[in-house]
Amino acid sequence: MRECSIHMNFKGEDDFFDPIRAKQYSELIKKLNIKYINTKWNEELYFKPNRPDVISVKKIRDFCKENNVTVTSFHYFGPVFQHDGLDQSFCRGLMKQSIDLYRILKPQVMVVHPGNLSLGRSSEHKKAYNEALKIFTPEQIHQIIVDNFRYFGDIAQEKGIKIALENIFGGRFYSQIDELVKLVNDINHPNVGYCFDCGHGNIDKINHAETIRIMGDKLFELHLHDNDGTSDSHLPIGFGTINYIEIIQALNEINYQNTATFEFFRWPLEDRIEGVKNAIELWQALENIAEQGYKNKQWK
């Protein structure tokens, strides 16, 4: 059975570490014997950490120590390409800043959206790309992104953190699996691999099992949530149309040893602990079915 990594968001409405929420999480960890968590902090593209940010991240570190949990993954929200010239120092500076700030949490993986170009978010990435085309060819843009990821892989490797490029959806840059595979292959760095997001794959109608087999031992992180194939609704597994039995079988084939990271944030119960308990038990039941078939003893 793979361990489940539970998402925990420690940021309160005032943008500081939320001690009340942390206390609730601590209760959940103790009652369900949680060993792994995943989290994030600031989602600004051009995030410049200030003293409260540093203090809050240190409080997350202390929380992990006190509760004896490991951070499996952390999101990098910054850009991977500087669109307005050859100098990539600004972009790379944000990468280094992210590693320097979050390394104290000792995350196993830093998850990156590879289509995050340097101007704004999703609706602005194409604009940034078109601006870059005034200076570079498409091949040159790709090569700069490859080189930036090699840099990211190097500095993360020094801290024992892997870089995992996540599949997005809806025609974003490097959202198609063949494009993402080519990117990782061109980067050709032992510390740079994949984060496979099952929900995103469902929107793009990909073959989940085949994709997992292609990623193989470069699959560093697995995001679990569900949807009906039309929107990124982040439903709990089993509440959408994804065939998780086939996914688990493919994970077994490639001998995937890392955690199963939950990226759904609700359950049809008000009690968070009971909801997470049900989610874990459902995942474990699916693992059993994938490995043994629908075998069970008849009720008496």
Band (43; pLDDT cuts 50, 70, 90):
confident
Cα separations in angstroms, 244 against 209, 227, 228, 237: 9, 12, 13, 8
159-205 confidence digits (pLDDT tens): 999 999 999 998 889 989 999 999 999 999 999 999 999 999 999 99
pTM of the model: 0.95
Rounded to whole angstroms, how far apart are CA atoms 90 and 26? 38
9-26 confidence digits (pLDDT tens): 999 988 899 999 999 999
The answer to whether residue 298 sits within a structural domain is no
> What's the whole-number mean pLDDT along residues 249-254?
98
Rg (CA), the chain: 19
Residue in 275, 146, 165 with CA at minimum distance from that of residue 223: 165
Band (296; pLDDT cuts 50, 70, 90):
low
> Is the pLDDT reported for residue 6 higher than 70?
yes
Q: How many domains does the chain have?
A: 1
197-210 confidence digits (pLDDT tens): 999 999 999 999 99
Enclosing H/E stretch for 98: helix 89-102
Rounded to whole angstroms, how far apart are CA atoms 112 and 164? 6
Confidence at residue 297, expressed as pLDDT on a 0 to 100 scale: 67
On whether the CB atoms of residues 213 and 194 are closer than 8 A, the answer is no
> Is the pLDDT reported for residue 298 higher than 90?
no
Share of the chain above pLDDT 70, in %: 98
The answer to whether residue 297 sits within a structural domain is no
Confidence at residue 124, expressed as pLDDT on a 0 to 100 scale: 85
Angle, to 10 degrees, between the axis of helix 19-32 and the axis of helix 51-67? 20
On whether the CB atoms of residues 74 and 100 are closer than 8 A, the answer is no
The answer to whether residue 151 sits within a structural domain is yes
Band (54; pLDDT cuts 50, 70, 90):
very high
The answer to whether residue 284 sits within a structural domain is yes
The domain that holds 110 is classified in CATH as 3.20.20.150
Confidence at residue 48, expressed as pLDDT on a 0 to 100 scale: 83
The answer to whether residue 299 sits within a structural domain is no
Confidence at residue 294, expressed as pLDDT on a 0 to 100 scale: 80
The answer to whether residue 106 sits within a structural domain is yes
The answer to whether residue 169 sits within a structural domain is yes
What are the tokens at 258? 């890392």
Residue in 72, 78, 118 with CA at minimum distance from that of residue 98: 78
99-111 confidence digits (pLDDT tens): 999 999 999 999 9
> What's the whole-number mean pLDDT along residues 58-68?
98
> Is the pLDDT reported for residue 249 higher than 80?
yes
Contacts of 105 (CB under 8 A, 6+ apart): 39, 57, 60, 61, 64, 71, 74
What are the tokens at 8? 């925990």
The answer to whether residue 300 sits within a structural domain is no
72-105 confidence digits (pLDDT tens): 999 998 899 998 888 999 999 999 999 999 999 9
**Structural domain for 257, as ranges:** 4-292
